[in-house]
Structure 1
Amino acid sequence: MAIQDTRTLVWNERIQFLRRVKKWTQREAAEVCITNQKSFWRWETGRNYPIKRNQILIAKAFGVRVSDIFC
């Protein structure tokens, strides 16, 4: 995967980018984020915006700050 400047991505694209960097399926990412695949899919596609508690879990799962994804 080519490295890209994530500043040009919107929040849901950053989640997808980070998941692909980790080489996780949506199901694997959902498990790490303590949610189900359908919720993770909704976040990744931008259909739903995660609440603060979930934002923290997502950032922790990917080893980044909340502000790195949701700025």
Structure 2
Amino acid sequence: MPVTAAEYAAGAVAQGLPEEEAEGLAALFEEVLDGRNAYLADGVREALGRAPRGFAAYAADASAAWSPTS
């Protein structure tokens, strides 16, 4: 459920977080969640020279690599 930074800070203080810390975290969350990270970039392709893959594919490959052979 979306909440404003002020609502988050008020809830955190109500749960016992010091007001100064709650306000600092709320400001951080506001900046990080301002939409600048709402798109995908091509950093994996540029850095590794291949298309990115999902976690399930990674986990399947890693599992196979670490499975003991009989």
TM category (shorter chain) comes to under 0.3
Q: Bigger radius of gyration, 1 or 2?
A: 2
TM-score by length of 1: 0.25
Q: Higher relative contact order at CA 8 Å, sep ≥6: structure 1 or structure 2?
A: 1
